[in-house]
Amino acid sequence: MKWITRERPKIDRIACPWLLKRFVDPDGEIIYVPYTDVLTEAERTGAIPFDLPDVEYSHYDDQCTFDYIIKKHQLKDPALFRIAAIVRGADTDRHDFASQAAGLEAIFSGLAYNIKDDQELLKLGMVIYDGLYSWATHLFKKKHAQDGPVEELLLRVYHQYLKQEKGKKAPEWAETLREMIQDQLDTNIFLNLQQASEELEINPAYLSREFSKYFDNLSFGDYMRKARIEKACDLIKKTNHSLTEIGYLTGFSDQSHFNRIFKKFTGERPSTYKKSLKK
């Protein structure tokens, strides 16, 4: 069988092929293509798409695609459950799921940075996950000082990663996204969730679910609307543009929509807000 997913893999898109080839489809072929081509190529080649929205093999709730493959194919190996917690934590930026998750993420982020050939990265990833499987089968009960080389490597990188991240309130992707949103606002080009997920190389379903934790407890859409209204307020204060022009400059082609959203976030219509400033 053929299996197809997005290019430039790091966590789930390396772990899932390993799981598929080792426990589900030993002769399976893994295909990486640009995000926009996955479904088209899947239909053309008959490949099964995985790890992207609106397909069967994907994220569900707080579970990642690796978890779904285990459930779908009724894999009962306890070692796979241990690995699943690590992969889930690394792929969803929830390092509390397993202490090794941050190390796994750091290792594959570094490897993806160094290795641009997806198949070469997968080949190396297969070796690493084989080692992780041996740890999860035979060595997971040992104390840290007794652990084998794979566990020592994961833990060493894990602690180094935590030391670097100490004191940060939000994950790196949230800080990057905040900068992206500001850049878009400054240039009057407005970002959507799909564009953000592609730029950050994060599953859009995960990004949508986690977004509110780091952005004022708002959904992606509400946060973007709030940011646009804040920009509109700034333009009303500092420029002589008409309200129609300001609505357009902040991404509202419909004036009634602009008025409605402005009132939702400020409690008053743009015209009333403008008059209050003059007073």
User: What string of DSSP letters covers 185-209?
Assistant: HHTT----HHHHHHHHT--HHHHHH
Residue-wise pLDDT tens digits, 7-30: 999 999 999 999 999 999 999 999
pLDDT at 125: 94
pLDDT score of 165: 47
What is the pLDDT, as a whole number, of residue 153?
Answer: 56
Question: For residues 162 and 176, what is the distance between their CA atoms, to the nearest angstrom?
Answer: 18
For residue 39, count other CB atoms closer than 10 A to its CB.
Answer: 15
Which pLDDT score is estimated for 55?
94
CA-to-CA separations, 158 to 27, 128, 256, in angstroms, rounded: 33, 16, 51
Between CA 64 and CA 238 the distance in angstroms is 47
Per-residue pLDDT, 163: 47
Round to whole Å and give the CA distance between 162 and 168. 10
Question: What SS3 class is residue 107?
Answer: helix
Helix (H, G, I), strand (E, B) or coil at 74: coil
**Ranges of the chain whose pLDDT falls below 70:** 142-169, 184-190, 279
What is d(CA 274, CA 174) in angstroms, rounded to the nearest whole number? 33
Q: Please give the pLDDT value at position 272.
A: 92
Parse the chain into domains and list their residue ranges: 2-165, 172-278
- Residue-level pLDDT at 215: 85
| pLDDT confidence of residue 166 | 47
CATH classification code of 172-278 = 1.10.10.60
